[in-house]
């Protein structure tokens, strides 16, 4: 109900359509996934891009700071794989955290589950941001 209300209240249709080539759209989606907000910056939505660029990596970092764990791709544990896919949604910060050996997680920490939630939601939100950039690139918004 709330989502329907939000969708009908959206005021994004005033901009000029910007349909792009399929190859450009793929690159756009890759950029939007790798660097949160990059897709919007590419399309000239500077304000939105900067907000995403700041908020999403900061949310992911907060999760790491709260002792959250970057889930591995363990096929034997389907829920862990789903969590790993959600984490991967944040793009480049995920690779940087892996390279720096961050996100090992301390299960006994009071904030462990909070950290996991921050990291998972940051990744999932970046997927939404990527889809939004795709829609703008397609000229739907």
Binding site for other proteins (CB under 8 A): 6, 9-12, 14-15, 47-48, 51-52, 55-56, 58-59, 62, 66, 110-111, 114, 117-118, 121-122, 125, 128-129, 132
Reference 19, options 132, 141, 131; nearest CA is: 141
Q: Which is nearer to other proteins, 14 or 101 (CB)?
A: 14
CB contact at 8 A, 88 and 71:
no
Estimate to the nearest angstrom the gap between the alpha carbon of 38 and the chain centroid. 11
Distance CA 140, CA 73 (A): 35
Estimate to the nearest angstrom the gap between the alpha carbon of 118 and the chain centroid. 11
Least distance in angstroms from the C-beta of 19 to other proteins: 19
Residue with tokens 């900067």: 50
Q: Which is nearer to other proteins, 16 or 99 (CB)?
A: 16
Least distance in angstroms from the C-beta of 87 to other proteins: 16
Q: Which is nearer to other proteins, 6 or 23 (CB)?
A: 6
Reference 132, options 35, 51, 28, 55; nearest CA is: 28
Least distance in angstroms from the C-beta of 132 to other proteins: 6
Radius of gyration of the chain (CA): 17
Q: Which is nearer to other proteins, 97 or 141 (CB)?
A: 141
Least distance in angstroms from the C-beta of 129 to other proteins: 7
């Amino acid at each position: 109900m709330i989502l329907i209300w939000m969708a009908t209240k959206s005021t994004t249709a005033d901009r000029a359509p910007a349909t792009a080539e399929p190859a450009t759209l793929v690159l756009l989606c890759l950029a939007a996934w790798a660097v949160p907000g990059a897709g919007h910056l590419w399309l000239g939505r500077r304000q939105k891009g900067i907000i995403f660029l700041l908020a999403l990596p900061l949310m992911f970092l907060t999760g790491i700071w709260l002792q959250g764990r970057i889930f591995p791709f363990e096929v034997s544990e389907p829920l862990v794989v789903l969590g790993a896919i959600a984490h991967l949604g944040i793009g480049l910060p995920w690779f940087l955290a892996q390279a720096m050996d961050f996100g090992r997680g301390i299960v006994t920490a009071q904030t462990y589950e909070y950290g996991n939630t921050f990291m998972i939601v940051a990744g999932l939100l970046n997927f939404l941001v990527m889809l939004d950039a795709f829609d703008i690139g397609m000229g739907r918004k």
